[in-house]
Amino acid sequence: MTASVHPIRPRGRGSETTPSLNALLALAGPELASVNKVILDRMQSPVSLIPELAGHLIAGGGKRLRPMLTLACARLLDYAGTRHHKLAACVEFIHTATLLHDDVVDGSDLRRGRATANTVWGNPASVLVGDFLFSRSFELMVEDGSLRVLKILSHASAVIAEGEVAQLTAQRNVETTEDRYLEIISAKTAVLFSAACQIAAVVAERDASVEAALDAYGRNLGIAFQLVDDAIDYVSDAVTMGKDCGDDFRDGKVTLPVILAYARGGADERTFWRDAMQGRRSSDADLAHALELMRASRAIEDTLARARHYGTRAIDALARFPDSSARAALTETVEFAIARAY
């Protein structure tokens, strides 16, 4: 008998019921040590700059959320082998490579509260080490020996790149639609969440319906996660987020809060958003005005409401699986992704 699924509702910080990743960490922690060993071994190179730069980001306080999802989904399916350890490391290498490339494209100075690799070592080194990590990820895929795994992860890598290019073409374009924005974040963020979960079904030798359920869980979690990220860029700070509040605003990133505020604004408001996204209104006072417009249009609230919708869909995808510690941890992971904003 499976438990009933309820819509996600915001829970305030400091509450005893505030979700966390503790259950996921407890579930995946013992196996995560094996994954971390693979990561450490495979990022080594006789070219000393490679492990030095890669280690700066990999050891920089990341949650290892995506590889933990692989481990937790394998546990959900009662998989008792170890193939998924290398594949979880592969997922983390893909993620880390995209972060290195993203920071170069965005010109970011902070990542998780630390100086970005491109700030410390320069753009060329960051791009090339990102390429090295992508190559390592493909070595791990091939070593696994499953064409299905190779198809899932290689496809995810290609879609992520497409998503990043699509985001670049949409940058500073306030006419970007909500549907287009969702396509972009589905590609650049959600597809790796999906792949991280889906490969667990492959190694556990489960059927296509199980693959589809884990794909849906990961994809909807990834969309919810990115929606929350885009909302809290406007309402958080460098200590909480590891980057400066309003970075997306100053970079001209047209995320859903901007799309909603622009669509709901009058002529003056739309002129402001066009100027802001084109870089003509980027001062602290302009950011403060942007926040006022978002509050008036409920853009942040409705972005988070959409995040809760996708979070609920992620939890619904788990309904086919029996109650277990793994299912509970995966459910709380969704709730944690949403609760970050409150």
pLDDT at 3: 38
Handedness of CA 150, 151, 155, 158 (dihedral sign): positive
Q: What is the mean pLDDT of each run of 10 residues along the chain (342 residues)?
A: 49 65 94 94 93 82 88 97 97 94 82 79 91 96 96 97 92 94 96 98 98 98 97 74 73 94 97 96 94 97 97 98 98 95 72
- Domain assignments of the chain as residue spans, ordered by start: 22-335
pLDDT at 11: 55
Phi, psi of 112 (to 5 degrees): 55, 35
**How many angstroms separate the CA atoms of 95 and 336, rounded?**
20
* Residue 34 near residue 85, CB atoms below 8 Å: yes
**Nearest C-alpha neighbor of 96 from the set 181, 170, 24, 160:** 160
**Nearest C-alpha neighbor of 54 from the set 123, 126, 159, 3:** 126
* Residue 89 near residue 35, CB atoms below 8 Å: yes
Nearby residues of 219 by Cβ (< 8 Å), 6 or more positions away: 186, 190, 191, 193, 194, 314
CA dihedral (181, 182, 186, 189) in degrees, to 10, reads 60
Secondary structure tally for the chain: helices H, strands E: 17, 2
* Residue 91 near residue 192, CB atoms below 8 Å: yes
**Nearest C-alpha neighbor of 198 from the set 149, 146, 138:** 149
> DSSP secondary structure string, 303-324?
HHHHHHHHHHHHHHHTTTSPP-
**Nearest C-alpha neighbor of 248 from the set 267, 235, 265:** 235
**How many angstroms separate the CA atoms of 31 and 329, rounded?**
15
* Residue 110 near residue 242, CB atoms below 8 Å: yes
pLDDT at 163: 94
Q: Which CATH number fits domain 22-335: 1.10.10.10, 1.10.600.10, 1.20.1440.120, 3.40.718.10?
A: 1.10.600.10
Query: pTM for this structure?
Result: 0.92
3-state secondary structure of 115: strand
Distances (CA, A) of 26 to 15, 64, 105, 194, 329: 21, 13, 36, 22, 9
